[in-house]
Amino acid sequence: QTKIDEDQRVMLYTVRDSGNALLTIINDILDFSKIEAGKLQISREDIDVDYLIADSLPFVREQSDNRNIKLLHDNQDHNRPALYADPRLVRQMLVNLLSNAVKFSPEGGVITIAATETETGELVITVNDKGIGMTPDEISKAMKPFEQTESGVNAGGTGLGLPLVDRMMALHEGSLELESITGQGTTASLRFPSSRCEADKILQQLPGAISA
């Protein structure tokens, strides 16, 4: 068995990370192109939101660990119904928002992700960071495909993350909302409509389906 030294190990990690980053960019561009062409089909099923959040965290764990950033999953609300949505797309949206939050957080910062149900029955997943924040003009720019704020250019990326999440939420009849204060941080919210709960009646009619 061939042994590698530390410099070679670092180079291999760099190649792996670069490959993963490139794959993410390619997948984002492909999904965005499909959405714009009306070709991206979603496959809905009952989702345990907290399970999916926990399943998304490892995708950004190395990125956050490298900068000593804590990822906190607030899962105290246990009385929510399941979310009827496409699990792949929801996971992709969560990873995009978490990755953004890590990218723009200070070293040693904290990012909190949580899901809550509103009084009107909407389900809202929030990702909150205490990073550099954005002005209203920067938020408007960040929501446009391939547009990037100055801080976004410095941090790298394609400028597709937030527009892609916005389009994916539209496919779920929901919305992406951003609240940000310069120098204090950003809260990104995925707001799913209350109609998601109607899935229970549909799923009960399907063989082998799991109803929340």
Residue 14: what pLDDT?
64
Burial state string for 94-117 with b = 16 or more CB within 10 A and e = fewer than 16: bbbbbbbbbbbbeeebbbbbbbeb
CA 129, 134, 140, 145 dihedral sign is: negative
**Single-letter residue type at 106:** P
Query: H or E stretch including 206?
Result: none
Decide the pairing of beta strands 70-74 and 110-117: parallel
Question: With 80 as the cut, is the pLDDT of residue 21 above it?
Answer: no
Residue 204: what pLDDT?
39
pLDDT tens per residue, range 140-193 = 888 887 666 555 445 555 567 799 899 999 989 999 999 999 999 999 999 999
For residues 59-81, give the mean pLDDT.
Answer: 87
> Tokens 């070709």 appear where?
39
Residue 43's pLDDT band, with cuts at 50, 70 and 90, is confident
Residue 29: which residues within 8 A CB-CB, separation 6 or more? 158, 160
Contact between 176 and 190 under an 8 Å Cβ cutoff? The reply is: yes
Residue 7: what pLDDT?
72
For residues 46-72, give the mean pLDDT.
Answer: 92
Query: Assign residue 145 a region: left if phi > 0, alpha if psi is -120 to 50, beta otherwise?
Result: beta
What is the rounded average pLDDT for all residues in the chain?
A: 80
Residue 206: what pLDDT?
34
CA 139, 142, 144, 150 dihedral sign is: positive
Residue 28's pLDDT band, with cuts at 50, 70 and 90, is low
Neighbours of 168 (CB within 10 A): 25
